Amino acid sequence: MRRLLVLLALCTTVTACDTGKACTLIGADPGIVVESATKVTELEVCWSGSCRTAKVTSGFARVEGLPENPVEVRVAGRKVTVTPKPVYPNGKDCGGLGPQAKVVVEQDGSVHERP
């Protein structure tokens, strides 16, 4: 009986039991991934009437409270609308984290969302 309880406890805290797939404790912060040929140090993200400035470190800007709805990103003097989506570092069976969106700043200065 004790083994069954231990197995059940492990199953409910560490794995997706219905699939047998292990779900690790890896995380994924909410934010914007930035791909750019030039150095980008910060960006601004706006939604619901307010804007937040975020520092870009190693190509990622952490944006707390980022919604899974369209937001406007201002980067490198340009604006682009992106829709952040959940990310699944352990696969969809383990639930989504984030959300995140990706923007690309091209050499000519144009900015677009990368799906």
Question: Which tens digit of pLDDT belongs to each residue from 92-107?
Answer: 989 899 999 999 999 9
pLDDT value of position 10: 40
pLDDT value of position 109: 92
Identify the bridge partners of residue 75 per DSSP, sorted by sequence position: 78
Rounded CA-CA distance 3/7 in Å is 6
The model's pLDDT over 38-73, given as tens digits with 9 standing for 90+, comes to 999 999 999 999 999 999 999 999 999 999 999 999
CATH 1.10.10 fits 25-113, yes or no: no
The model's pLDDT over 5-31, given as tens digits with 9 standing for 90+, comes to 333 344 444 444 455 678 888 889 999
pTM: 0.77
Helix (H, G, I), strand (E, B) or coil at 8: helix
